[in-house]
C-alpha cells in the first residue's frame, strides 16, 4: 500500500512487524538487487529498514511537517540508499542508509518551511537545523562562566561555530522566527482594514516623474530641432542616418550612397557636430552637455 494512503499508526505497525536482517542476509539481498535487479530482494531490504526511516522521520516533527509526509520522504531516501548501495565496500546497509534518509527529510523540511527559499548550501542547511541547539548551548556556557551575551555577540559566536557569515545567521533567525503571512491579509480585524499589500511602495514610475520626464523630452526635442537647423541637407542626412536611426548606418554605406569616400563622410559628420554644438551653446551654455 502506498505510504500516503496509510496512517502513521498503520505504517509504524507494519514496519515493526518487518523481519530483522542479519549481516549475511542483508548482503545477499544487496547483491541480488545490484547484480540482478531483483525487485523482491529490494522490497525485502527496504521493508526491513523502514522502521529506521520512521524513527528518523519522527525526529523532525517539531518543524511542523505532517508525519506521513516525513515518513514518505524518509522512505524515498531509503529507496535511494538501496539503489546506490555498494555491498563490496564492507559496511552495513543501515549505516549507509542513514545519510540518505536524513538528507531526504531535511530537503523536504526546508522546501516546505517557507514560500521564501530558506537556503540551499550545506552550511545554510546546517544552520537551519542546528541554530537553536547551538544557540542554547552557547548561552548555557556563557551563563556558567558568569557572562551575559548580547544578541550581536551571540550571533557572531553562532556564525563561527556553524561556519557561516553573520548575515546568514541574521537571515535564518528571521526565517525561523515565524511563518509566512499573506500580503492580502487585513491589517485590522474589521472589514475596512487595509491589506498589507497596500503598504508596499509602488516601484512603478510616479506621476511627478512622468511629468518631469515628458517635460525634459520636449526640451531635448526642441534643442535637437534647433541644432539640426544649423546644418545643410547633406549634413542633416548624415547625422540622421548615423545617430538617429534605430540601427545606425556605417560610414561606408553612406559613402556609397552619396558618392563619397568613407573618410569624407566622417569629416562631414564631425563638421556637422561642431555646427550643432555651436548652435546649442548659443541657446544656453549648459545645453550642449545633453548632446556631448
Q: Which three cell numbers stand for residue 145?
A: 562562566
Is the pLDDT assigned to residue 123 strictly greater than 70?
no
Is the pLDDT assigned to residue 116 strictly greater than 50?
no
| For residues 40-64, average pLDDT | 88
Window from 121-135, 180-194, 223-237 with minimum mean pLDDT: 180-194
- In the DSSP assignment, the letter for residue 80 is H
pLDDT of residue 2: 46
Q: Write out pLDDT tens, residues 281-290.
A: 887 665 555 5
pLDDT of residue 67: 87
Q: Write out pLDDT tens, residues 191-221.
A: 566 665 565 555 555 666 777 777 778 877 8
The CATH class, in words, for 207-291 is mainly alpha
Q: What residue spans of the chain are helical by DSSP H?
A: 8-16, 23-36, 39-48, 50-58, 67-84, 93-113, 122-144, 151-162, 166-176, 207-228, 233-239, 251-258, 262-283
Q: Write out pLDDT tens, residues 134-166.
A: 888 888 888 888 888 888 888 888 888 888 878
Q: How confident is the model at residue 120 (pLDDT cuts 50, 70, 90)?
A: low
Cβ–Cβ contacts within 10 Å for residue 25, how many?
Answer: 14
Question: How far is 33 from 290, CA to CA, in rounded Å?
Answer: 75
Q: Write out pLDDT tens, residues 167-198.
A: 877 777 766 665 545 555 565 655 566 665 56
pLDDT of residue 1: 41
Question: How far is 194 from 289, CA to CA, in rounded Å?
Answer: 47
pTM to 2 decimal places: 0.45
Q: Which residue has the cell 500580503?
A: 183
Is the pLDDT assigned to residue 234 strictly greater than 80?
yes
Topology of the domain comprising 3-113: 1.20.120
For the chain, what are the domain ranges? 3-113, 122-176, 207-291
Amino acid at each position: 500500500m502506498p505510504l500516503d494512503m496509510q496512517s502513521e499508526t498503520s505504517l509504524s505497525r507494519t514496519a515493526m512487524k518487518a523481519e530483522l536482517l542479519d549481516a549475511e542476509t542483508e548482503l545477499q539481498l544487496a547483491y541480488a538487487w545490484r547484480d540482478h535487479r531483483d525487485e523482491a530482494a529490494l522490497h525485502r531490504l527496504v521493508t526491513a529498514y523502514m522502521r529506521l526511516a520512521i524513527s528518523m522521520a519522527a525526529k523532525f516533527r517539531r518543524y511542523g511537517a505532517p508525519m506521513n509526509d516525513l515518513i514518505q520522504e524518509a522512505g524515498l531516501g531509503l529507496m535511494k540508499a538501496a539503489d546506490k548501495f555498494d555491498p563490496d565496500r564492507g559496511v552495513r546497509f543501515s549505516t549507509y542508509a542513514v545519510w540518505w534518509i536524513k538528507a531526504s527529510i531535511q530537503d523536504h523540511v526546508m522546501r516546505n518551511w517557507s514560500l521564501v527559499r530558506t537556503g540551499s548550501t550545506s552550511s545554510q542547511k546546517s544552520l537551519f537545523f542546528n541554530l537553536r541547539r547551538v544557540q542554547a548551548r552557547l548561552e548555557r556556557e556563557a551563563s556558567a562562566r558568569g557572562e551575559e551575551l548580547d544578541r550581536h555577540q551571540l550571533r557572531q559566536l553562532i556564525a563561527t561555530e556553524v561556519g557561516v557569515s553573520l548575515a546568514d545567521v541574521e537571515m535564518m533567525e528571521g526565517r525561523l522566527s515565524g511563518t509566512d503571512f499573506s500580503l492580502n491579509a487585513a491589517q485590522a480585524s474589521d472589514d475596512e482594514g487595509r491589506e498589507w499589500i497596500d503598504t508596499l511602495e509602488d516601484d512603478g514610475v510616479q506621476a511627478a516623474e512622468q511629468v518631469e520626464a515628458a517635460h525634459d523630452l520636449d526640451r531635448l526635442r526642441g534643442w535637437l530641432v534647433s541644432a539640426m537647423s544649423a546644418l545643410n541637407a547633406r549634413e542633416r542626412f548624415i547625422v540622421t542616418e548615423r545617430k538617429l536611426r534605430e540601427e545606425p548606418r556605417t560610414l561606408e554605406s553612406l559613402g556609397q550612397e552619396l558618392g563619397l569616400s568613407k573618410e569624407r563622410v566622417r569629416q562631414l559628420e564631425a563638421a556637422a557636430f561642431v555646427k550643432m554644438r555651436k548652435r546649442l551653446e548659443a541657446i544656453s551654455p549648459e545645453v550642449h552637455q545633453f548632446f556631448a
